[in-house]
């Protein structure tokens, strides 16, 4: 209780507050500091999920539940500070999906946008909006909002990828819903590679049409091309002290982020390289495409290996130290925050 308030005044206020409750009202002045704090306060915690721990459990799930039965056989990566909420950060869902040889994850569509980052397997595929693409390790694949999609595996081993969706953002707006297709796989209307040929070769159609609204018409950004770009860029100039060598995935239609609600980028660090501390209002999910190292976020340090997944919460100071040559695939809600004028970033001097 405020020392300047007498017990009588406090009792009078409590009586007043009690009369507000039946009318579904509340005094703003009692909660204003929590609603508008002096700096962001994330409820999420920094964390690392090691792939060596995920993989055996994921394969065990494959023996328990079929892809058709589950619709999507996924182990959700729950932030330890947000149990039961299906959130890796405050606004981003993440999970690890398994498709076994010969399986099909049935066609459906939904309002949340999704990305896939392939972790294991070379014979998986996904079909989006009538076009199929083969999925190879390190590929970044987009499923736009309300686009029909299905997944399959025509190889001899498991196919595993990291899912990232804006489900918490869509749920906040109470706009989440989905629909099943009338068959396991939806109809293909374009040959494989059509989207890349039209939009991903430094060429555009004379009269380009936005196939998926503000989402990139390229739905597979192959890792082979990404890795080559990073390698050349790392030799071209002195790395940024906070970002190392970082390139973002872009929508060729407007040069903006590849997805309207989820920003995605990739970072290269040479062996022994360490970034200076920085923090930002977006909680970041990090998938280790290559290498080993350490992430320090929110005062905690996590060692990571290839295929591990990490989280750096909003407004938590973060830095990365590479023990070996590293490539990190990152995504967050930054693109949505920028559109709303909310994004902020702070970088340390050293």
The set of residues, in sequence order, having a beta carbon less than 8 Å from that of 90 and lying 6+ positions away, is 42, 43, 44, 82, 168, 283, 313, 314
- Calculate ∠ Cα 54-60-62, nearest 5°: 105
User: pTM for the full model?
Assistant: 0.95
CATH code for 47-347? 2.60.120.10
**Tens place of pLDDT for every residue, the chain, 350 residues?**
566 889 999 999 999 999 999 999 999 999 999 999 999 999 999 999 999 999 999 999 999 999 889 999 999 999 999 999 999 999 999 999 999 999 999 999 999 999 999 999 999 999 999 999 999 999 999 999 999 999 999 999 999 999 999 999 999 999 999 999 988 899 999 999 999 999 999 999 999 888 899 999 999 999 999 999 999 999 998 999 999 999 999 999 999 999 999 999 999 999 999 999 999 999 999 999 999 999 999 999 999 999 999 999 999 999 999 999 999 999 999 999 999 999 999 999 87
Q: Element (H or E) spanning 29, and its range?
A: none
Query: How many Å separate Cα 61 from the centre of its chain?
Result: 23
Give residue limits of the domains in the chain. Answer: 1-36, 47-347
**Residue that the structure tokens 């569509």 belong to:** 109
Please say whether the beta carbons of 177 and 99 come within 8 A.
no
**Beta partners for residue 118, in sequence order:** 161
Cα–Cα separations (whole angstroms), residue 81 to 36, 38, 40, 225: 21, 22, 16, 37
Q: Residue 249 and residue 255: Cα distance in Å, rounded?
A: 9
């Amino acid at each position: 209780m405020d020392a300047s308030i007498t017990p009588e005044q406090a009792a009078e206020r409590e009586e007043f507050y009690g009369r507000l409750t039946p009318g579904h009202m509340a005094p703003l002045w009692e909660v204003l500091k929590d609603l508008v704090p002096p700096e962001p306060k994330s409820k999420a915690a920094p964390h690392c999920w090691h792939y060596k721990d995920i993989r055996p459990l994921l394969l065990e799930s494959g023996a328990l539940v079929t892809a058709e039965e589950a619709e999507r056989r996924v182990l959700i990566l729950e932030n330890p500070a947000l149990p039961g909420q299906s959130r890796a950060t405050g606004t981003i869902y993440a999970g690890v999906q398994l498709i076994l040889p010969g399986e099909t994850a049935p066609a459906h569509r939904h309002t949340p946008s999704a990305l896939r980052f392939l972790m294991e397997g070379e014979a998986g595929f996904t079909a989006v909006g009538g076009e199929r693409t083969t999925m190879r390790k390190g590929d970044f694949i987009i499923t736009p909002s309300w686009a029909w999609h299905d997944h399959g595996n025509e190889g001899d081993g498991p196919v595993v990828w990291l899912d990232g969706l804006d489900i918490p953002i869509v749920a906040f707006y109470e706009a989440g819903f989905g629909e099943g297709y009338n068959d396991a796989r939806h109809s293909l209307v374009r040959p494989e590679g059509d989207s890349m040929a039209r939009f991903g070769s430094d060429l555009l159609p004379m009269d380009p049409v936005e196939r998926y609204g503000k989402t990139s018409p390229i739905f597979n950004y192959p890792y082979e091309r990404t890795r080559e770009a990073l390698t050349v860029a790392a030799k071209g100039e002195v790395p940024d002290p906070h970002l190392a060598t970082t390139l973002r995935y872009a929508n060729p239609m407007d040069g903006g982020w590849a997805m309207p609600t989820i920003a995605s980028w990739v970072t290269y660090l040479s062996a022994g390289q360490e970034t200076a501390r920085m923090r930002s209002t977006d909680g970041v999910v990090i998938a280790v495409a290559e290498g080993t190292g350490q992430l320090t976020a929110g005062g905690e340090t996590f060692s990571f290996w290839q295929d591990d997944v990490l989280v750096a919460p909003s407004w938590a100071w973060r830095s990365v130290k590479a023990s070996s040559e590293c490539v990190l695939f990152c995504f967050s809600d930054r693109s949505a925050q920028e559109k709303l004028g909310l994004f902020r970033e702070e970088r340390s001097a050293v």
